[in-house]
Amino acid sequence: MDAKMQRVIDDYEIRQVLARYTRGVDRGDAELISSVYAEESTDDHGGYKGPGKAFGPYVVKALADHTESTMHTLNQSLIDIHHETAKAETYFVAYHVRLDGGERYLDRFGGRYMDKLKKRSGEWHIIKRVVVRDWSMTEKIEGAFYKAEDFVNGTRDKNDLAYQPL
């Protein structure tokens, strides 16, 4: 295959790894989160520093304990591919709706995923992730812009519409 075409394919497949990760976090799917990491991977997520594969169960439980909903948006990624390894810097914003003492808060976190990835048996996996914090903020939620009952609401499990067939 042409080297340029292979780069396009690899870039696409790496972006899919990143997207599966964010879906896993937002839907509370520990298995999906863990699937993006290689067996020997590490993750430095600030308060969590440990095996990448173990981050899925850890973060799903941590978010379930105090978070009503989350949304992670991926922004630009700079991906540098060298044969079977790659480095990716991906900007993100994470939104968490948190309940505390009967009040609702919106926590926002802007940062970058600094990932080293490895391609094995034709599949890309994260082997090292470091989360870089660029900014964060919290604000109290007072009221709602749109009425929840007017929409299909997202769920933090596999009952979410994202898991349903088209």
Element (H, E) at 6: helix 3-27
What is the spatial distance between Cα 156 and Cα 154, in angstroms, rounded to a whole number? Answer: 7
**Residue 147 pLDDT:** 74
Q: What is the pLDDT of residues 91-104, one digit of tens each?
A: 999 999 999 998 99
Q: What pLDDT digit, counting tens, does each position of 20-73 carry?
A: 999 999 999 999 999 999 999 999 999 999 999 999 999 999 999 889 999 999
In the chain, the percentage of residues whose pLDDT exceeds 90 is: 87
Domain parsing of the chain, residue ranges: 3-148
3-148: CATH architecture = Roll (3.10)
Residue 96 token pair:
């968490």
Burial class (CB in 10 A: 0-12, 13-18, 19+), 60: buried
pTM of the model: 0.93
Per-residue pLDDT, averaged over 147-156, amounts to 84
* Those residues with Cβ within 8 angstroms of residue 28's Cβ, 6 or more apart along the chain or in another chain: 60, 63, 64, 156, 157
